[in-house]
Structure 1
Amino acid sequence: MNLIDLTHTFTNDMPVYPGDPLPKLHQITTLEKDGYNDHELTSVMHVGTHMDAPLHMIQNGKTMDEIPVDHFFGKGVLLDARGKEKIEPELLTGKTIEPGSIVLIYTGFGARYREASYYEKNPNVTEAFAEVMVKAQVKIVGMDILGPDVPPFQTHKILLGNGILTIENLVNLEKLLDIPHFEVIALPMKLQSDAAWVRVVARY
């Protein structure tokens, strides 16, 4: 069995959605003074590698703690979207997507995580693509970009409104390019919230 970590390390200087405050992760006790180490974290949820629950965009939608745990495992499908400005249904040509799959969109932007272009020029996932994901009955759509779309967030609403969770800010997707069969394990914190940080692993 082999594992690939698809998760960014959570740090104080990670990029955030424009307008959001930076996270603050700092040490509040030390072994020398207090006998133990402890840290305090203050942050919005939509930073770093995280998963959106329906409540993020859907009135009265489910919170992360209400999602059944079997929703976080599934057969992985990698879509190579390098060089694409829009993620369209044509990207699925030749792909077999079974119900319950977890679709990962590789744009290459994960390598630009700390560059200005990560915020300014990342591709958008189209509403048409989202509709295909709904018809295919996938569990999750993940991507190595800041988010699938921009206001008014129609792609978000299509996916989350149909129970398809989204994962944003993935990394290392290029390591899956030559792996034809893999499983995705994406375990978010069990929070009563519209999103949660998530550790995402591919297993093959």
Structure 2
Amino acid sequence: MHLIDLTHTFTDEMPVYPGDPLPKLEQITNLEKDGYNDHELTSVMHVGTHMDAPLHMIKDGKTMNQIPVDHFFGKGVLLDARGKEKIEPELLTGRTIELGSIVLIYTGFGTRYRDASYYEKNPNVTEEFAEAMVKAKVKIVGMDILGPDAPPFPTHKILLGKGVLIIENLTNLEKLLDIPQFEVIALPMKLQSDAAWVRVVARY
């Protein structure tokens, strides 16, 4: 069995969505003075590798703690979208998307994660692609970009409105290019909130 970590390390130097406050992760006790180490985290949910729950965009939608745990495991499908400005249904041509799959979109933008260009001209996931994901009844759509769309967030609303969760800011997707079959395990923190940080692993 092999595992690939698809998660960015959480630090207080991570990029954030334009306008959001920076995360703050600081040590508040230490062994020498207090006899133990402890850290304090102050952050919005939508930073780093994280998962959106329906409540993020849907009135009265489910919070992360209300999602059944079996929703976080599934057969992985990698879509190579490098060089694409739009993520469209044509990417699915010739692909079989099984019920309950977890679809990962590899754009290559993950390599720009700590660069200002990460927020510039990143690919847009179209509404038509989102509808195709809903029709295929996938569990999750993940991507190596900061999000699938821009205000007023139609793609978010299509996916989350039908219970398809979204993972943003993935990394290491290039390591899956030559792996024909893999499983995705994406375990978010059990928070009563509209999103949660998530540890995402591919297993093959």
The answer, yes or no, to whether TM exceeds 0.5 is yes
Please name the residue that 1:95 is paired with. 95
Please name the residue that 1:34 is paired with. 34
Structure 2 counterpart of 1:136, which letter?
A
Structure 1 counterpart of 2:199, which letter?
R
Deviation, 1:120, is 1.1
Q: Distance in 2 between matches of 1:36 and 1:97?
A: 49
Structure 2 counterpart of 1:180, which letter?
P
Q: Are 2:202 and 1:195 aligned? A: no
Please name the residue that 1:109 is paired with. 109
Q: Distance in 2 between matches of 1:180 and 1:2?
A: 13
Q: Residues 102-141 of structure 1: matches in 2 within 5 Å?
A: 102-141=102-141
Structure 1 counterpart of 2:193, which letter?
S
Name stretches of at least 5 consecutive residues in structure 1 with no aligned partner.
none
Name stretches of at least 5 consecutive residues in structure 2 with no aligned partner.
none
Structure 2 counterpart of 1:81, which letter?
A
Please name the residue that 2:23 is paired with. 23
Please name the residue that 2:162 is paired with. 162
TM-score, scaled relative to structure 1: 1.00
Q: Distance in 2 between matches of 1:114 and 1:36?
A: 32
- Off by >2 Å, runs of 4+ in structure 1: none
Please name the residue that 1:50 is paired with. 50
TM-score, scaled relative to structure 2: 1.00
Q: Distance in 2 between matches of 1:52 and 1:77?
A: 19
Q: Distance in 2 between matches of 1:13 and 1:20?
A: 13
Structure 1 counterpart of 2:110, which letter?
G
Q: Distance in 1 between matches of 2:203 and 2:150?
A: 31
Deviation, 1:117, is 1.2
Q: Distance in 1 between matches of 2:198 and 2:72?
A: 10
Deviation, 1:121, is 1.4
| Identity in percent | 89
Please name the residue that 1:78 is paired with. 78
What is the aligned length? Answer: 204
Q: Distance in 2 between matches of 1:165 and 1:122?
A: 20
Pairwise CA RMSD: 0.3
